[in-house]
Structure 1
Amino acid sequence: MTLEYSISAGHPFCMGVMSQTNGIHIAMPFPESEGKECGMLLYKAGHELARIVFPECYKMGEVYVLFINMQMEADYTYLFFCGEEQFTDPYAHIIRGREKWGRRKEDRPRAAFAEDTFDWEDDMPLRIPYEDSVFYSLHVRGFTKHASSQVSARGTFAGLAEKIPYLQQLGITAIECMPVYEFDEIIPNPAYQESLKLRDNGQAAYLEEPAWKQRINYWGFGDGETYYMAPKAAYAKDPQHADRELKLLIRQLHKNGIEIILQMYFSPRYTQGYIREVLRYWVSCYHVDGFHLFGTDIPMRLLGTDPYLKHTKLIHENPEADAVYKGKKIPYYRNLACYGDAFRYDARRFLKGDEGMLSVMAEHMRQNSSLEGVINHITDYRGFTLSDLVSYDRKHNEENGEDNRDGSDYNYSWNCGVEGSSRKRAILQIRLAQRKNALAMLFLSQGTPLLLAGDEMGRSMQGNNNAYCQDNKINWLDWKLLEKEAELFTYTKELIRYRKEHPILHSRQTMQIMDSLSCGYPDLSYHAEQAWYAHFENYYRHMAVLYCGMYEKKPDGTEDDFIYIIWNMHWEKHTFALPTLPQDYDWTVSMTTKEIPQQDTADKTGKEEKPVEAEISAEQAREITALGRSVIVLTGKKQEFKKKKRHKK
């Protein structure tokens, strides 16, 4: 069969290959192609159909810009060639040859032509502000691959779509997905490859048989053959239509008020222009809401000033917001955000009672910015899960096959007395309380919380803090844990609900620690045994924080409540003063991580001793005791229909 075609000039408006009804538009760079014959190899049903040479007259710099007029068919695939070298389109929208997870084909993967026929039904990115967001970090395959997920297509985009009701129940507003683009999940062992070469050359195979021939790159990061504009075919129920399945997932997420943010790693070999092209493509063709970018040479200043990306969340360890907005007004939509590790490690140290962390955590909990969002996390894929954080003092990465040398040694964890799993009731109780304390730090701080998938149900990776190659039950989420860890799940859900109900806990503005409204209360204040007086010396491990709801309005226009959060990370109990509320307000205990002990809740001159009730009237409220390693949250509400007695001074 002979292919009939003609070539004419193209338009350099967009890099890559675009299929049209009457042919193909190409704008493709060919680096170091001087004096070499360049073009396209076209395949049909896996067999070469045509070798199309590109005329030099259509070359602009290193880019061939042309249009091939031809009759298109659905099963065409292609490669490019430059001299003797063949390569896959780095701008490919669909990749063929990687449909089976963990199976390597000898042939180079080929690009296919995407069909732009999907009906988005007027869908568009949601643009949920950072201050109103709750992020949830997950791995598409691992989230539903376990049999307990009970979805029809485990480990796929379709399987994730079936779990949208769960995400809604939890209160999630955005999922942050580990790489969903087409990466090479096979990690060959260099020693094994060298051994094969020696044998093939007839030399003595003096190298010992390596412990592994190849591993799985489960996370998806790395500098292998990566095609950033193509969805991962192996993550689809129907690998031939992974693009459509991912679009269906995103459309369904948006209908249910959930954003999707994609994690992407770019090594220094990728140009700034290419990175921008990739991001623009995912926003325009897949309606993604944002990106969490990793890499040392991410052009945040370029991306942050790109008008196409102004409504797209851009998250990086250094978003360069000061440079992006230098001399400009505060953005009406903060699309930049900082994702650092300071909160992560300082919160862990505060959790286990280290010295010198009180003032540090007070600042973290207040941290916010009018220019950029702040993403807080205590756990993510690079380290212990929340359950492992309170169950292991050291990493246990033996399963990775690197003699436990991989992964960080700085975990700032505490096993609560026993290394690994335990059946002792006392150990289990302190571990539950510590997990609750950590979650409280995450969701009751001003920054946007990011929850690692499974932390809400007690997921463990058996102490592995670097499970990059574990495509098994170490990484797969066991959904049976929801029943086993029902108390933890309910607590997490209530924390998220409480955060959403109280805008004073997630204000867009930075707390000033001042009475700027002249209402008698600062927006934020610190307390301890005495109201309005806190200790920040390095040996203190407890404090209380008062948020004045007069500084924020609820959606219905009413003022928010007063919120008083007691943090006692000391192993001993401490008594905290309760600040006096305005007239007609009462304190209510909203949640605790440990039972509140009996204490004196009467007037200082009174003698009655009784347990704290759910409501503590203004006449009675003087102080409250928090057990060691516990958090208490109180809400000060106005009691409209309750007769109040006035204090006698």
Structure 2
Amino acid sequence: MNFQICSGNQEKAGVTKQKDIISFFVQAAGNSACNLLLYPKDNGPVRKIPMEVQKNDETVYTVGIRGLDWKNYDYNYEINGEEVTDLYARRITGREIWADETRRPREQKAEPFVPEKEKKRMERELPAVNHVSSKQQLREKGTAGKIKSSFYFSDFSWKDKDFRRIKKEDMIIYKLHVRGFSMGMQGTDRRKGTVEAVERKLDYLKELGVTTLLFMPLYEFEEIIMLDKTKVQEHPRDLINYWGYTSGSYFAPKASYLGKNHDPDNLKRLIQKMHEKEMECILEFYFPEKTNPHLIIEVLHYWHREYHVDGFRLMGIPAVAELAALDGGLSGCKLFFESFREELAKDSERFGPLLFTYNDGFLYGVRRSLNHQGGSIHEFACQMRRQQAHQGFVNFIAENNGFTLWDSFSYEHKHNEQNREENRDGNDWNCSGNCGQEGISRKRQVNELRKRQVKNALTVLFFAQGIPMLWMGDECVNSQQGNNNAYCQDNETGWKDWKRSAAGKQMSVYVKQLSGIRKHYSMLRSPRPFQLQDYQNRGCPDLSYHSDGAWKMDFDRNQGFIGMFYSGTYAGMKESLYVAYNFQRVSQKFALPGGMKWKLLLNTAKEPAVPQEPENLMDIREIQVERQSVCLLSGTESAESLPEQELSGKQSGESKSGTKIKGRGR
């Protein structure tokens, strides 16, 4: 071993490299005994190297090594006799194989939890961390398979300096699980379950109109659920933490997701390829309540700097989310959290990341209306125009935590028996429906209604003002057979189905059409809140509500339908849009603003929902919309002016909006 011990870098935690010196920095309580453990990759003798406490900080321990051939070593720390991985490790070895059962303690295989006495016996059986005499002894004691910290010094050459973040009004998010997204692909490609497989499908996602990928946890975590006496037995002992919402090695990407040679550079190649295709990368991070806030900020800085990640969705501590929102080092990033105060978002002296609210308010508001679960048409209208000038809102009707979009209209009740918790887990309040039969059905009428309802939901999602987010597989009617908590389903239940059924192909085409409509008609995705007024004297409000009478809406009646008229003049377009939402189980007449020639662009009651050529409706004044369907019309002003009676009504009505709104107001 041709290396020399020297002083280490005292300024930066973790492992750093300066010329030929590798420095190790760890923090521990004062008067601790700290050692560096070096593990040769050829299973040679383990070296234990004492670390020095710093004179100006008794909690900092460092050591430097000159001439270390770091590519041939792994390492850990020993603190007061307990071996631990490096909190700042850029790479972790020992979890390259997903859900490798050899990592599960053998006592846990036979018992629901590991008793304390067995834990102590297991610890006694671990080999001493001092010099180990032979490879045979290492194999016998099992240290060759333990979890270790590893080195990562990358010379990856980034070529994405021209990439510009995507405006909030142009974003379409697709949320996915790296493994679940690709394990269902046909064939035996070794890349399945890795970021390399995601890279293969970027064109597929781009064709859907997706601009932004939101990844479920990509950091290194233990998917095998380890139980001990401190945990309540909530889950069967041999299930897998498939989703990854747990603590982990936050600076290290998950080795089993990385593909060839488990190289972190493969993740960088994916992100660079995404940037080449003008797509963003957003990562989810779960931090337990007691996580050091400063560590969280360091984690975000590292992924933004090292992996060129474009944003983060934080799960956990509200105070930390606000701290990150104020961090100038994250300027240029996007930050997603359950909610942000508008005062914080619009603070002119805040130079942190762009802020985005991510919660399930839109999901419940829309599902209640679609499934006749006590929905409020007033709440629906508010959700459809949910927007603020200084932050964005993410809208979704399905995500990983709940039913898929198809299952939202196929199951009234959760069916989580496969989780082996007697169906106790998962949310009981789903605002879902089954269209007349629970679960899989052969009835044509049931399946046709389900397809229409999914189209209705997708239409609502893409025509809402906020940012639409699709959950993996919802573009092709993916089902989890009624499981609304697939946290442990590392199988076809939790994977995206790539078999491409006829219904799935049709729905994927429809998603592409919706994203095209949203992109073309900018009034649907205005970055600023609608005022419901003609504040620029354009002749009509920017957005107005209609019912069976033009320019009026009585929210107190809570009828299951509403017409929304988007003025094209406020978007710099000659065309205006009218969207008729009929959630009732009967057809409904909608009154249209006069003085316009109309074209029918979309009707979810028809197949295909989007005709090859728009249907000319001329200057009609009303339209009949079939039950449980949505119609989209475009209108241009006709040569004839508006009738004088209607014009005067717009100018002197009960509301400056031009819409006679009764009840709950705007």
TM-score (norm 1): 0.87
Aligned with 2:552: secondary structure?
coil
1:73 partnered with 2:95? no
1:173 aligned residue: 211
1:445 partnered with 2:476? no
Instruction: Classify 1:78/1:191 alpha carbon distance in 2 versus 1 (closer, same or farther; 3 Å).
Output: closer
Matches within 5 A, 1:209-608: 212-223=236-247, 226-241=248-263, 243-297=264-318, 299-323=320-344, 325-326=346-347, 328=348, 335-553=354-572, 559=573, 561-581=575-595, 586-595=597-606
1:590-619 superposed Cα distances (whole Å, 9 cap, x missing partner): 1111149xxxxxxxxxxxxxxx9801223x
Aligned-partner Cα distance in 2 for 1:440–1:149: 34
Matches within 5 A, 1:609-648: 614-618=615-619, 621-637=620-636
Task: Find the partner of 2:24 among 6, 23, 26.
Answer: 26
Task: Find the partner of 1:41 among 37, 43, 68.
Answer: 37
2:123 aligned residue: none
Contact 1:266 / 1:298 at 8 angstroms: preserved in 2?
Answer: no
2:7 aligned residue: 8
Post-superposition offset of 1:531 = 0.7
Instruction: Classify 1:417/1:173 alpha carbon distance in 2 versus 1 (closer, same or farther; 3 Å).
Output: same
Task: Find the partner of 1:184 among 222, 240, 253.
Answer: 222
Instruction: Classify 1:237/1:576 alpha carbon distance in 2 versus 1 (closer, same or farther; 3 Å).
Output: same
Query: For residue 289 of structure 2, what is the amino acid of its counterpart?
Result: P
1:606 aligned residue: none
Post-superposition offset of 1:419 = 0.3
How many aligned positions are there?
A: 597
Post-superposition offset of 1:572 = 1.0
Aligned-partner Cα distance in 2 for 1:377–1:510: 19
Aligned-partner Cα distance in 2 for 1:560–1:239: 55
Instruction: Classify 1:309/1:61 alpha carbon distance in 2 versus 1 (closer, same or farther; 3 Å).
Output: farther
Contact 1:130 / 1:334 at 8 angstroms: preserved in 2?
Answer: no
Aligned-partner Cα distance in 2 for 1:468–1:550: 47
Post-superposition offset of 1:518 = 0.3
Post-superposition offset of 1:190 = 5.1
Aligned with 2:554: secondary structure?
coil
Post-superposition offset of 1:429 = 1.1
Contact 1:174 / 1:259 at 8 angstroms: preserved in 2?
Answer: yes
Instruction: Classify 1:613/1:179 alpha carbon distance in 2 versus 1 (closer, same or farther; 3 Å).
Output: closer
Instruction: Classify 1:21/1:218 alpha carbon distance in 2 versus 1 (closer, same or farther; 3 Å).
Output: same
1:137-174 superposed Cα distances (whole Å, 9 cap, x missing partner): 11100111114378661111111100011011111000
1:560-596 superposed Cα distances (whole Å, 9 cap, x missing partner): 6311000111111110111124xxx521111111149
Post-superposition offset of 1:51 = 1.8
Post-superposition offset of 1:236 = 2.3
Aligned-partner Cα distance in 1 for 2:379–2:211: 28
Instruction: Classify 1:354/1:147 alpha carbon distance in 2 versus 1 (closer, same or farther; 3 Å).
Output: closer
Instruction: Classify 1:353/1:57 alpha carbon distance in 2 versus 1 (closer, same or farther; 3 Å).
Output: closer
Would you identify which runs of 4 or more consecutive aligned residues in structure 1 move more than 6 Å? Answer: 191-195, 645-649
Post-superposition offset of 1:484 = 3.7
1:231-278 superposed Cα distances (whole Å, 9 cap, x missing partner): 11111222431x011111111111111111111100012111000010
Aligned-partner Cα distance in 2 for 1:316–1:476: 26
Aligned-partner Cα distance in 2 for 1:114–1:59: 29
Aligned with 1:537: secondary structure?
helix
1:116 aligned residue: 154
1:462-493 superposed Cα distances (whole Å, 9 cap, x missing partner): 00000111110001111123544222221111
Larger CA deviation: 383-392 vs 212-221: 212-221
Post-superposition offset of 1:125 = 5.6
Matches within 5 A, 1:49-198: 49-57=46-54, 60-64=57-61, 67-103=64-100, 104-105=102-103, 107=143, 108-123=146-161, 126-148=164-186, 153-188=191-226
Instruction: Classify 1:267/1:638 alpha carbon distance in 2 versus 1 (closer, same or farther; 3 Å).
Output: same
CA RMSD of aligned residues (A): 2.6
2:653 aligned residue: none
Post-superposition offset of 1:11 = 4.5
Post-superposition offset of 1:66 = 5.5
Aligned-partner Cα distance in 2 for 1:321–1:77: 47
**Unpaired segments of 5 or more residues in structure 2?**
104-141, 608-612, 645-666
Post-superposition offset of 1:19 = 3.1
Contact 1:233 / 1:239 at 8 angstroms: preserved in 2?
Answer: no
Post-superposition offset of 1:441 = 1.3
1:397-425 superposed Cα distances (whole Å, 9 cap, x missing partner): 00101010100100110101000011111
Contact 2:154 / 2:265 at 8 angstroms: preserved in 1?
Answer: no
Contact 1:29 / 1:62 at 8 angstroms: preserved in 2?
Answer: yes
Post-superposition offset of 1:539 = 3.7
Aligned-partner Cα distance in 2 for 1:282–1:538: 51
Contact 2:256 / 2:262 at 8 angstroms: preserved in 1?
Answer: no
Contact 1:353 / 1:571 at 8 angstroms: preserved in 2?
Answer: no
Instruction: Classify 1:355/1:36 alpha carbon distance in 2 versus 1 (closer, same or farther; 3 Å).
Output: closer
Aligned-partner Cα distance in 2 for 1:566–1:485: 25
Instruction: Classify 1:48/1:508 alpha carbon distance in 2 versus 1 (closer, same or farther; 3 Å).
Output: farther
Larger CA deviation: 58-67 vs 105-114: 58-67
Contact 1:334 / 1:373 at 8 angstroms: preserved in 2?
Answer: no
Aligned with 2:266: secondary structure?
helix
Instruction: Classify 1:538/1:150 alpha carbon distance in 2 versus 1 (closer, same or farther; 3 Å).
Output: farther
Instruction: Classify 1:473/1:298 alpha carbon distance in 2 versus 1 (closer, same or farther; 3 Å).
Output: farther
Aligned-partner Cα distance in 2 for 1:254–1:338: 24
Aligned with 2:537: secondary structure?
coil
Aligned-partner Cα distance in 1 for 2:288–2:231: 24
Instruction: Classify 1:325/1:392 alpha carbon distance in 2 versus 1 (closer, same or farther; 3 Å).
Output: same
1:48-98 superposed Cα distances (whole Å, 9 cap, x missing partner): 443221222356252335543333331211101112111100111110111
Aligned with 2:406: secondary structure?
helix
Q: Percent identity over the alignment?
A: 35
Aligned-partner Cα distance in 2 for 1:638–1:26: 71
Query: For residue 432 of structure 1, what is the amino acid of its counterpart?
Result: K
